[in-house]
Amino acid sequence: MDEKIILIPSRDYLCDLGKEVEDKKDKIYLCESGSSFVIELKLTGSQIHTGYHSGDCDSDIEALMQIPEIKEQLDAIDEDLLTKWWDEVFLDGLPKTPVSENKHQALGWLVFECCSNAIDGYCYEMRR
């Protein structure tokens, strides 16, 4: 049977989605980041909670980026699209370097954004 992508109404779940994702750690979610230039990643509920939590997430994001399924998705992202997305990302107080100079940093922020957006209610659930 083909997978179906089910939109989860984000604003209705702002308080509950984080727990919903946590309760379904093995379920696959299609998480997104961006507005004009949306980039999506498929992550499990467990991976989402690994990448977005209180405290420093940097080492957890680095570990997620090495998981073969996630690394494969990141490697497949078109650099022009990543650059357009990166130019839109609001990084409060951080200097923005061109993607060509630090693609790894941009991809790390993308993974973090996708995880945080899923917890905050912006994701699609993959159902079989």
Band of residue 72 on the pLDDT scale cut at 50, 70, 90:
very high
Q: The domain containing residue 102 runs over which residues?
A: 4-127
Q: Report the mean per-residue pLDDT for the chain.
A: 79
Mean of the pLDDT values across residues 81-89? 85
Q: Per the structure, how many domains does the chain have?
A: 1
Higher-scoring residue by pLDDT: 26, 94: 26
Mean of the pLDDT values across residues 106-125? 85
28-64: per-residue pLDDT in tens?
A: 888 888 767 788 899 988 899 899 888 899 999 999 9
Band of residue 100 on the pLDDT scale cut at 50, 70, 90:
confident
Q: What is the DSSP string of 60-105?
A: HHHHHHHSHHHHHHHHTS-HHHHHHHHHH---TTPPPPPTTT-HHH
Specify the long-range contacts of residues 99-106, CB closer than 8 Å, at least 24 apart: 103/79, 104/65, 106/82
Has residue 108 got a pLDDT over 70?
A: yes
Band of residue 7 on the pLDDT scale cut at 50, 70, 90:
very low
**pTM assigned to the model:** 0.79
Q: How far apart are CA 88 and CA 70, in angstroms?
A: 22
% pLDDT > 70, the chain: 78
